[in-house]
Structure 1
Amino acid sequence: MSFETVTYEVDGKVVRIGLNRPKAVNAIDGVMKRELLEAFTMVAQEKEAMVVVLFGHGNNFCSGVDLKDMAFNGWEHTPEGWAGHFNQLISTSRVMWNLDIPVIAAVKGFCLGGGCDLAMMADFVLAADNTRIGEPEIMMGAFAPTLIVPWLMGMKKAREFLVIGTELDAEEAKELGLINRVFPLDALDENVEKWVKHICNIPRAALKMSKKVLNKQYELMGLWDAIEYNREYSVILNLNKTREERMDSLKFIREQGLKALLKQLDEKTIVR
């Protein structure tokens, strides 16, 4: 099966899924949302697979949800529209979580917003030393839809990361538990392959059982109940922005461009 915005390759025991919109910094548009869900659903049918590598083509992992897509492609500002948006994102996260083999996110450059959510749902995150991780959507009146970060770091830092919207470099993110290992950019691929080879040497039954029982620990603590609660309030939050406010922000992107909007948001960011 071929995709427009995602690459999908099976190499023996390894499935590689690539975000393939490098000119848009691999931003997640409507097509990519659908194709990511389809791609990870396909992994479950790969009976010989033992590991998935998720990566971004080009110089970055993912800059988040595509604001240009929202501005130009008739975004539906309704309960059904927003529910559909968040349902697709969270459905992909749930499929990743439920796979019986591990997912490695190989990240570099920007890993922001929806891209950060995607990487954090992986079982392992291996990062280049130029990685920048953040959930900046709070400055636009939005919030992370797949709220996995509080399960990965301490409460105070989670509040700073999500409510203030501070951005982390790779070493900071590793210290806080968001990243497993950091490598020089030119050594990232080589080290990802070492992890892939190691995982493929683990007995299949033990590999699958270990993920299953570890996942169950977090499920019993209420991880998916918490994510669902956040999904409902994310819909409410986005609907609380009046249609006029929403149209004004999208009009700003259409008339002045996304870079102008990002510059405006950057000027509002005091704490970094």
Structure 2
Amino acid sequence: MTTQLAVDENAVLVDVSNHIATITLNRPRKLNAINKAVITSLGDALRQAEADDDVRVVVITGAGGNFSAGYDIANSSVVASPDAATAHHYLSAEAALTMQLWGLAKPTIAAVDGWCLAGGFDTVLACDIVVASERAQFGMPEIRYGSGPVTLLLPYMVGQKLSNEIFFTGDSFTASQAKDMGLVNRVVADDELQKAVNELAAKIVPTPLPILKFTKLGLLRAYESMGLRQGVQANLDLSAILNKAVTEEGAEFFRIVEQDGLGAALKWRDKRYGTTA
């Protein structure tokens, strides 16, 4: 049986079938960039999936051949914030959504195709299992336009040295490289992604829901005993200050966004770093 959950269909699509809730970020023309509607609708969808005893596995994916390019910086409340205190308010909502996904009582699988950057990458890091297509590309490019990670999960996944390189350079990397780092469980052919995710979810579904919940709770507590939640909160406070730091480069980037659009600003940014990614 297939059912539809009541959420904003313009922001996310939600389908429940065979004990699997599939939540699809649905802004393909914007590379599924995360805006206020996505934050609200994804949060609602996660709450409904968690409360539905028919759901045992939650799959997160993106429409149109990409997972997500991250937060919608062209229409960002954080960027428009007049000061760090206001930025902190909006960043808190973004971090809360990622941590809601992290702490979901049921197993989660990220199905990643195409671009998976910044806040989109944070979303994937918050999932329990990651399956990626061969063409998937990951990265944390925020530093290149004067921003930083909202939810600092990466150091707990790959350790200090790799985290430093990823955050300091803003470089993107392939699904194969992500698998070598331990960030991806499986890399599959582009046209096999959905099949691979369905097969993996089907292996989890037969387990009784209480067993799944307590198993996941134990795994979460193992990470949180390392200080994960405290680290996320500490970074959130610094992220608000970082996002309101005044630099010539940051001012020029957002001047170009306002005058010529985000695409032109990204080209300007990438030229500075000698890359087209």
TM-score, structure 2 as length reference: 0.91
Say which of 99, 106, 114 aligns to 1:94: 99
Q: 1:267: which partner in 2?
A: 271
d(CA) in 2 for partners of 1:166, 1:189: 27
1:57 aligns with 2:63: yes
d(CA) in 2 for partners of 1:155, 1:96: 23
Q: Report the Cα offset of residue 99 of structure 1.
A: 1.6
Aligned partner of residue 127 in structure 1, secondary structure? strand
Aligned partner of residue 101 in structure 1, secondary structure? coil
Q: 2:23: which partner in 1?
A: 17
1:143 aligns with 2:148: yes
Q: Report the Cα offset of residue 153 of structure 1.
A: 0.8
1:70-149 aligned at under 5 Å gives the runs 70=76, 75-149=80-154
1:190-201 aligned at under 5 Å gives the runs 190-201=195-206
d(CA) in 1 for partners of 2:258, 2:198: 42
Cα deviations across residues 180-239 of structure 1 (Å, max 9, x unaligned)?
Answer: 100000000110000110010223332211110011011111000000000000001112
Q: 1:223: which partner in 2?
A: 228
Q: What RMSD, in angstroms, separates the aligned Cα atoms of the two structures? A: 2.0
1:177 aligns with 2:182: yes
Say which of 31, 36, 55 aligns to 2:37: 31
Asked if the contact 1:34–1:88 (Cα under 8 Å) also holds between the matched residues in 2, the reply is no
Which AA in structure 2 matches 1:165? G
d(CA) in 2 for partners of 1:89, 1:103: 19
d(CA) in 1 for partners of 2:175, 2:230: 29
Asked if the contact 2:43–2:100 (Cα under 8 Å) also holds between the matched residues in 1, the reply is yes
Unpaired segments ≥5 residues, structure 2: 1-5
Aligned partner of residue 130 in structure 2, secondary structure? strand
Which AA in structure 1 matches 2:29? K
Which AA in structure 1 matches 2:136? T
Are residues 34 and 248 of structure 1, via their aligned partners in 2, closer, same or farther at CA, if it must alter by over 3 Å?
farther
Q: Report the Cα offset of residue 270 of structure 1.
A: 4.4
Cα deviations across residues 78-118 of structure 1 (Å, max 9, x unaligned)?
Answer: 33431222111111122112221111010010000110011
Q: Report the Cα offset of residue 240 of structure 1.
A: 2.1
Are residues 230 and 60 of structure 1, via their aligned partners in 2, closer, same or farther at CA, if it must alter by over 3 Å?
same
Q: How many residues align?
A: 270
Are residues 74 and 91 of structure 1, via their aligned partners in 2, closer, same or farther at CA, if it must alter by over 3 Å?
closer
Q: Report the Cα offset of residue 245 of structure 1.
A: 7.3
Unpaired segments ≥5 residues, structure 1: none
Are residues 77 and 246 of structure 1, via their aligned partners in 2, closer, same or farther at CA, if it must alter by over 3 Å?
farther
Q: 1:5: which partner in 2?
A: 11
1:203 aligns with 2:208: yes
Which AA in structure 2 matches 1:5? A
1:150-161 aligned at under 5 Å gives the runs 150-161=155-166
1:255 aligns with 2:259: yes
Q: Report the Cα offset of residue 247 of structure 1.
A: 6.0
Are residues 137 and 240 of structure 1, via their aligned partners in 2, closer, same or farther at CA, if it must alter by over 3 Å?
same
Asked if the contact 1:54–1:105 (Cα under 8 Å) also holds between the matched residues in 2, the reply is yes
Q: Report the Cα offset of residue 33 of structure 1.
A: 1.9
Asked if the contact 1:70–1:250 (Cα under 8 Å) also holds between the matched residues in 2, the reply is no
d(CA) in 1 for partners of 2:178, 2:161: 14
Q: Percent identity?
A: 31
Say which of 50, 56, 72 aligns to 1:44: 50
